[in-house]
Structure 1
């Protein structure tokens, strides 16, 4: 029986909508720390816990740490429609999206020295793209190839292996120190390429636990290197999250399916719970029925017994978060039946005490 993991965002923060989402079948809530402070997310998580408790529910509250992914610095979204050029600084300078030529800074992994004229910068999960027209020492000038809305602090990648290196950042470590004893019941770490990152995350939390339990660690596998080490990672982590968005950016479209299948089979062989995200039912934000490809893929994941399915933009920013969760719940009942949904971490029903594995 798959758990339904909902990413909280502007579309689901209203208490009335949040209550409907919980009633619709949300089992877990994900709180991404890529665009918000951990303290503010903890406040949101406490609100979710309160609403759920009023309905007799105790969902998982999952803090998702961003890792070293390169991101734009803009806090205002803007449309690429009608924009002929975008200037991208390689440093974390403030963005100004209101100029005739919008200016964007970059945080995270440094891509300077790896950008040449003609390269394509992929934005988000590849929804938008910018072609590099020319490169200067501290910036590049790009031409938009798409006309979508460039949202707040979207991720940036060069296609084919230019995602950030694995390992925890200083920001990740600072966040991990606050997790034991907090409202969050588990933590997700990004761009995991070996079991060492999982062990380090546990060690950081154990050192700061002060008698509190060390929460479970979910390892996000989203690079080719991570897939190659998935059995080692799955044997150490409490669960694995297949991050399909960044995996596609790293792999390209031809290798993508085989890599996803490698994660599914690798985690199954080790007996590690697997959560699959993202873009599972995004078409419901634009239409009444889901795309056939989405419906078929989600149904197969449910039928195969995948431990969790994670909704992202569908519930964080989509126009139909409640209906999306309801459909996922109904599909789960169709293919897995009704009954109590098992915990996400069956191997560790209670978190290990501080200092232990």
Structure 2
């Protein structure tokens, strides 16, 4: 069975819309902790659990931890149209978008993490916008926009070519706190981001075991979203309860030419051992603003359904769209056409 996964966000956080999404066919709700405290998300997850019980519908709830990723600190949108240059500050301080040269703080960088150099690209979000570094100074750099889009609030950053691939992985203090806070919450599973080894999965499970003294242990889903993670998909899939193929960051890390091959490695590795795979990001993004989905989106989603992936995850299509229910209704219709099933199964059975 292919599960319909909806990301909870501002567009679908009311009881009315959450109930409508359940009726439209959502099987799994994903709660992202990159911008919202885990305790607040857990309270909203309780609401979803209550709504599903009232409707007599099964539902699974997943907490997605952000991992170590640089993010902007802006609390307002920045329209790049007319901006000729801006400053990136690496001290995690607040952003200042006033004045002719906006100053954007960057959080999430450790002392040893690489910074972009003169001539390097900085990619924003899932690739919607990009900057070119033209001057570097201690603790900051000056950049020129290469696009004219609108930078969203606290979007993630990527520095193509500057990442230290294959280095030792450590949980951030925020992620550790999130793992420890899982006990007593309604979440059935937790997603750990940027997974590149079985060791990271094992350590996540060990932290969960410290807090969950009774009852089933939440499932651990490894988000594979780097070239190194794709190359290690065999061992990650053997250790994890599920794989989330994070295509947004994966594209940023592999580049467009190697992207498909990396996705294929993850899907094949998981299938070989029976590990469930969820595929996410930009599945039906055109519905967030347009009426008909792009033909390429329909082809991709229908192909994944025919392939039998365990789940398809909507992100901005539900979290920030004007009509989240429409995207879910279409995805459910595609599932009924290309991956019909009469048995509704759990994606993450309880782990003893």
Q: Aligning the two structures, in what range does the TM-score lie when normalised by the shorter sequence? A: over 0.9
Structure 1 stretches lacking a partner, 5+ long: 353-357
Matched, 1:116 2:127: no
CA RMSD of aligned residues (A): 1.5
| CA deviation vs aligned residue, 1:193-214 (integer Å, no higher than 9, x gap) | 0000110011001112232432
Structure 1 runs of 4+ with >6 Å offset: none
User: Measured at CA, do residues 109 and 187 of structure 1 come closer, stay the same or move farther in structure 2, by a change above 3 Å?
Assistant: same
**How big is the shift at 1:115?**
1.6
Matched, 1:216 2:219: yes
| CA deviation vs aligned residue, 1:186-240 (integer Å, no higher than 9, x gap) | 1000000000011001100111223243210000001111111111111110000
Query: For residue 169 of structure 1, what is the aligned residue in structure 2?
Result: 172
Deviates further, 132-141 or 325-334: 132-141
Matched, 1:290 2:301: no
Matches of 1:178 and 1:197, distance apart in 2: 18
User: Measured at CA, do residues 99 and 143 of structure 1 come closer, stay the same or move farther in structure 2, by a change above 3 Å?
Assistant: same
Query: For residue 158 of structure 1, what is the aligned residue in structure 2?
Result: 159
Deviates further, 168-177 or 60-69: 168-177
Matches of 2:24 and 2:261, distance apart in 1: 33
Matched, 1:244 2:247: yes
Equivalent of 2:236 in 226, 233, 237: 233
**How big is the shift at 1:47?**
1.6
Query: For residue 36 of structure 1, what is the aligned residue in structure 2?
Result: 36
**What TM-score, normalized by structure 2, do the two folds share?**
0.95
Partner SS state of residue 21, structure 1: helix
**What TM-score, normalized by structure 1, do the two folds share?**
0.94
| CA deviation vs aligned residue, 1:237-295 (integer Å, no higher than 9, x gap) | 00000000000010000100000011110000011000000100001122211111110
| CA deviation vs aligned residue, 1:113-146 (integer Å, no higher than 9, x gap) | 5322221100001111111121111101111111
Matches of 2:267 and 2:60, distance apart in 1: 22
User: Measured at CA, do residues 163 and 275 of structure 1 come closer, stay the same or move farther in structure 2, by a change above 3 Å?
Assistant: farther
**How big is the shift at 1:180?**
2.4
Matches of 1:91 and 1:259, distance apart in 2: 33
User: Measured at CA, do residues 113 and 23 of structure 1 come closer, stay the same or move farther in structure 2, by a change above 3 Å?
Assistant: closer
Deviates further, 148-157 or 90-99: 90-99
Partner SS state of residue 254, structure 1: coil
Matches of 2:271 and 2:256, distance apart in 1: 24
Matches of 1:98 and 1:272, distance apart in 2: 49
Matches of 2:147 and 2:43, distance apart in 1: 36
Structure 2 stretches lacking a partner, 5+ long: none
Matched, 1:273 2:248: no
**How big is the shift at 1:58?**
2.8
| CA deviation vs aligned residue, 1:1-32 (integer Å, no higher than 9, x gap) | 20001000011112222211111100001111
Alignment length (residue pairs)? 349
Matches of 2:95 and 2:343, distance apart in 1: 48
Partner SS state of residue 250, structure 1: helix
Residues 97 and 103 in structure 1, CA contact (< 8 A), matched pair in contact too: yes
Residues 81 and 147 in structure 1, CA contact (< 8 A), matched pair in contact too: yes
Matches of 1:144 and 1:48, distance apart in 2: 41
Query: For residue 71 of structure 1, what is the aligned residue in structure 2?
Result: 71
